[in-house]
Structure 1
Amino acid sequence: MGSGMHRDSAVAHYAKLEIGSCYEPIFDISVHALAQSLSSAPQSADRFGDELGFQAVTQLLDGAQVDTFDPFEHVTDDQELVALDRMSRGMHAINFFGAQRHGLLFLRVHERLLKSVRYDHGRHFSTVLISFGLNPSRIVIELPPAAVAHRTFLGYLTKSYQHYGFKVAGNLPNAGQILSVSDMARLDFIKMDAGAALRDSMVKPLVGYANRLRIPLIFDRVATEAQFDLLQQYDVRFVQGPLFVRNENSAA
C-alpha cells in the first residue's frame, strides 16, 4: 500500500520509482441525451452521462507530485518490460476493484509487449486475477493501432484474450481501418481518435458503420467543449479524453 495521499491504494515499485493508478472516465452520453443541455455548467461531470467504465493510467508518484508514467520509455529489455507491465496491470485491477468502481476497466497493451509474449496472450493475467477472486470479464484489453492494422495478428490476439475471459477493444490507426475490423475478429469495442475523425469528416460514416457491425465505438482524446458539441451532432454514444478528466476532477 502507498503512503500519504496514496495510503488507501496499492502502489508498485520499479527500480527507485514508485508508481500508482489513476483512471479516466469513459462516458455513455446517450443516457442523458434528451435531458442534457449544452449550456449546462462545464464543471458539472454528470452532464456527460453515465460511465461505461474507466481507462487505467499509470502514474509516477513522487511525494506530492504526480506525473503520467510510460514504462515503455524507461525499459529497453523486453522481458523486464513484460514483468513491469504485468505488475502495473495487476495494480490497476486491484485498485479498481478494491475501490468498488462500477463499469469496465480498460487496460492498454503496447505493441512491443504483444510481440514479447509469443502465445497464449491473456493466460497469465487471467490466472492472476482469478487467484485474487477478480473477474476478467470486467476488464477490456485495449489493442494498439499497429496490432489492429494487421488482420491476422488482430484475429489471433482477439480470440486469445477473449478465450481467457477478457473483452477486447481495438484502436483504429485510421478511419478506413474499420472496414476490415470484422474480417478476422469480433472486437467488443472500437476506439477512434476524436480529433482525427472530426478533421477528416469521418465521424458520421464511422458511427454508421459501427452500428451496422453492432460494435460499440468510443471516440477518444476529446479535448475541448467544441469537439464534444460536434460529436453530439452525429449521435456519438461513447466518449473519453482530457475534457472529461478535467471536469471529473473539478467536480470531485
Structure 2
Amino acid sequence: MIAPTVQQLVSRASDYPFPGARIVMGEGASSGTAIAYYEGFCLASAYEPIFDVTTRGLPQSLTASVESAERFGDELGFQALTLTGDGASFDPFAQMDDDPRLVELDRLSRALHAFNFFGAQRPGLLFLRVHERLLKSVKYDHGKHFSSVLIEFGLNPARIVIELPAAAVAHRTFLGYLVKSYQRYGFKVAGNLPNAGQIMSVSDMARLDFIKMDAGAALRDSVVKPLVGYAHRLKIPLIFSHVADEAQFEALQQFDVSFVQGPAFEAHAIGPGGI
C-alpha cells in the first residue's frame, strides 16, 4: 500500500472540523509541508534524529547523509519538535495554562507531526513527547483518541513512540497503567529516567519499549557504563538524549552506547523543508 502524501493527508483532514479548520499546506519556506494554526499561533514541524551509532559507516544507511552515516550511524527514528511558523521553538505551556486548550493544542500538534512525518515517507520511528499535565488531564484510555485518528488517516500507530516525562516514570503504578494503555492502542512507549537508579524499577510495573537518559547527567554521575549494562540485561534499548557537544559524544563512545540524540547533532536535524 502506498502511503498518502502530506497534501493528501491535509486534504483528507478537511472532512473533519477540528483539524480541517487548522491544518493547511505551508507556503514559501514551508512549501510541501503541513502547518497548523491555533488561537493566533502558527505551528510547524521539525525532526531531531536519533542515531544508532552501532551502524556507523555501514553502506545501507537509508536516510542519513554519507557524512552522518560515517560519524553517527543510521537513524533509529526522529524526535518531533514543535516550532512557530518562523522557525523558533514553541512551548505551549509558556503560552497558556488552561488544560482543555492544552489538550486540544497537543492533539493538533501530534496530528501535524504525524502528517509531515508519514506524508514525507520517512523511515524509522516517530518519537512524540507527552507532558505530565496532559497525561493527568486525560483520565483514562490514554492513546485511544490519537490511535483512532491515525488509523482513520491510514497511518500506523506502531511506528510512533509515545515519550513519557521523567515525572511519570518516577511513579511506578501510574507508569504501569500508561504503558499498558498506550501499547494496547498500538503505540510503542519510551520513558525518560528521572535518575539513573530508576532503571532498576522500570520493568517492575511496565515493559517500556525504550529508555531515555540525559547524557550530561549520566556522564557527570559516572553511570553510563552501569546504565548500559543494566539496559542490556533488560533487553530495552537505551537512548542517551541531550548530547550537548562533541566532547560528550566522544565520552559516550568509550562505552557500549547504541543510541544518541541532542544539540550536538543539530546540523543534521530536519526542519520544515523536509529531509
Q: TM-score, normalised by structure 1?
A: 0.92
In structure 2, what is the equivalent of residue 17 of structure 1? 41
- Note if contact 2:165-2:191 (Cα within 8 Å) is conserved in structure 1: yes
In structure 1, what is the equivalent of residue 166 of structure 2? 145
- Given the alignment of the two structures, is residue 130 of structure 1 paired with residue 154 of structure 2, yes or no? no
1:48 alignment partner, one of 58, 61, 72: 72
In structure 1, what is the equivalent of residue 9 of structure 2? none
Taking only aligned residues, the RMSD between alpha carbons, in angstroms, comes to: 1.5
- Give the drift of 1:182: 0.5
Residues in 2 aligned to 1:106 and 1:34: alpha-carbon distance in whole angstroms: 24
Runs of 4+ in 1 over 6 A off after TM superposition: none
Secondary structure, counterpart of 1:11 in structure 2: strand
1:180 alignment partner, one of 201, 204, 217: 201
Cα gap change, 1:248 to 1:55, in 2 (>3 Å): closer
- Give the drift of 1:248: 4.7
Cα gap change, 1:190 to 1:112, in 2 (>3 Å): same
Query: Match of 1:55, as an amino acid?
Result: Q
Secondary structure, counterpart of 2:85 in structure 1: strand
Which deviates more from structure 2 when the two are superposed, residues 67-76 or residues 170-179?
Answer: 67-76
CA deviation string 1:185-233 (max 9, x = no partner): 0000000000000000000000000000000000000011111111111
Secondary structure, counterpart of 1:84 in structure 2: helix
- Given the alignment of the two structures, is residue 232 of structure 1 paired with residue 253 of structure 2, yes or no? yes
Which deviates more from structure 2 when the two are superposed, residues 223-232 or residues 206-215?
Answer: 223-232
- Given the alignment of the two structures, is residue 105 of structure 1 paired with residue 126 of structure 2, yes or no? yes
Secondary structure, counterpart of 2:76 in structure 1: strand
- Give the drift of 1:33: 7.0
Query: Match of 1:58, as an amino acid?
Result: T
CA deviation string 1:130-167 (max 9, x = no partner): 00000000000000000000000000000000000000
Residues in 1 aligned to 2:119 and 2:31: alpha-carbon distance in whole angstroms: 13
Residues in 2 aligned to 1:182 and 1:162: alpha-carbon distance in whole angstroms: 15
1:76 alignment partner, one of 97, 109, 127: 97
In structure 2, what is the equivalent of residue 26 of structure 1? 50
- Give the drift of 1:247: 4.0
Cα gap change, 1:164 to 1:34, in 2 (>3 Å): closer
Residues in 2 aligned to 1:248 and 1:115: alpha-carbon distance in whole angstroms: 31
In structure 1, what is the equivalent of residue 230 of structure 2? 209
Query: Match of 2:191, as an amino acid?
Result: G
In structure 2, what is the equivalent of residue 246 of structure 1? 267
Cα gap change, 1:51 to 1:34, in 2 (>3 Å): closer
Q: TM-score, normalised by structure 2?
A: 0.85
Query: Match of 2:264, as an amino acid?
Result: L
Cα gap change, 1:132 to 1:45, in 2 (>3 Å): same
- Give the drift of 1:34: 9.0
Cα gap change, 1:204 to 1:55, in 2 (>3 Å): same
- Given the alignment of the two structures, is residue 195 of structure 1 paired with residue 219 of structure 2, yes or no? no
1:166 alignment partner, one of 170, 178, 187: 187
Unaligned runs of 5+ in 2: 1-24, 60-65
Secondary structure, counterpart of 2:55 in structure 1: coil
Query: Match of 2:112, as an amino acid?
Result: M
- Given the alignment of the two structures, is residue 154 of structure 1 paired with residue 175 of structure 2, yes or no? yes
Residues in 2 aligned to 1:34 and 1:17: alpha-carbon distance in whole angstroms: 42
